[in-house]
Amino acid sequence: MSETDRQFGAVRVLVGEKNGKYPHGNSLLVRGREATALIDPSLSVVARAAELGGCADVIVQSHVHEDHVAGVHLFPAAEVHAHREDVLGLWSLDGLMAIYGYGHLESDMRDFVSSSFHYVARPDARGYEDGAVFDLGGTRIRAIHLPGHTRGHCVLLVEPERVLFLGDIDLTGFGPYYGDAWSDLEAFERSLQAVPEIDAAVWVSFHHVGVIEEREVFRAKLDRFSGKVVERERALIDFLRSPRTLADLIAHRFLYPPHVNLPFVDAVERRTIEQHLRRLLAQGTIERCGEASYRALA
């Protein structure tokens, strides 16, 4: 076991490089009497391939994104499960591209996920429903559907340890990510309201924050994470004190700092901003100014 890993009964948190900072992640290894499961096998699992061997009988995905499936290829004999709304991203690369919806960037994204994240299609992957239980023998993994990040995003509660794997409700300073074709801002907000109601004793985020053992700390980090949505919306309204086009808004970078140069950044900025614009237009907070511009009314 790595010195940075954490153990909670049958649950081992496989802590990734830089505490799971993207492109890395924190995965869970869950052992029962009858089977062993991996939750979201990340690049941290790939880095430990020799150590872990073929330990997984079952792979359970919180959702399907490139960084969460990077280690799936190491376990060709394992059963692979993802929520039925996301499972097509495991069935084929075409399915994963549909989840992203990046249009003209698709060729670059195909190369990116294949070369950097070892993507291998699993047409045998199975779709699970909200509330699905994976019984490993004395230890269970229960799926709770909390969409928004993707249509099928779930948190996964390991019982009886009450370890809650948060997936990409990741509590990072970046804030909620809802920038893909299959993301939804308002669904994400509802999920953020629901997650504190789950009876957990330990919370594990896939990225950066890692393990939290105090409810008060979890709630404080969740509040800050949720608050990023409000911050973005206020910043957008402030920028619209003067009329701006969508191209102006994308170039301004409300999510990513200017130095980040990944192939999908502009597409994610666009999708994120468009969702806020629709909401602000419906609220009457902004208006269209000509055919291509927007401005704030307040």
State whether 205 and 289 are in the same domain: no
Residue with tokens 């992203």: 100
Any domain includes 194: yes
The CATH number covering residue 146 comes to 3.60.15.10
Strands 133-135 and 211-212: unpaired
Say how far apart CA 64 and CA 95 lie, in whole Å.
10
State whether 82 and 185 are in the same domain: yes
pTM, rounded to two decimals: 0.95
pLDDT per residue rounded down to tens, the chain (298 residues): 565 899 999 999 999 999 999 999 999 999 999 999 999 999 999 999 998 888 899 999 999 999 999 999 999 999 999 999 999 999 999 999 999 999 888 999 999 999 999 999 999 999 999 999 999 999 999 999 999 999 999 999 999 999 999 999 999 999 999 999 999 999 999 999 999 999 999 999 999 889 999 999 999 999 999 999 999 999 999 999 999 999 999 999 999 998 998 888 999 999 999 999 999 999 999 999 988 899 999 7
Final residue before a domain boundary, out of 188, 203, 226:
226
Tokens for 3, please give them: 């010195």
Say how far apart CA 179 and CA 102 lie, in whole Å.
10
Final residue before a domain boundary, out of 203, 226, 249:
226
State whether 152 and 23 are in the same domain: yes
Residues 72-85 have pLDDT tens digits of 999 999 999 999 99
pLDDT at 1: 59
Long-range contacts of 92-97 (CB under 8 A, 24+ apart): 92/121, 92/123, 93/119, 93/121, 96/64, 96/66
Q: Which of 65, 20, 61 is nearest to 43 (CA)?
A: 20
State whether 249 and 168 are in the same domain: no
Residues 187-223 have pLDDT tens digits of 999 999 999 999 999 999 999 889 999 999 999 999 9
State whether 95 and 236 are in the same domain: no
Say how far apart CA 297 and CA 241 lie, in whole Å.
8
pLDDT at 3: 59
pLDDT at 208: 87
The CATH number covering residue 288 comes to 1.10.10
What's at 268, amino acid-wise? V
Q: Which domain holds residue 256?
A: 229-296
State whether 56 and 126 are in the same domain: yes
pLDDT at 263: 83
pLDDT at 2: 65
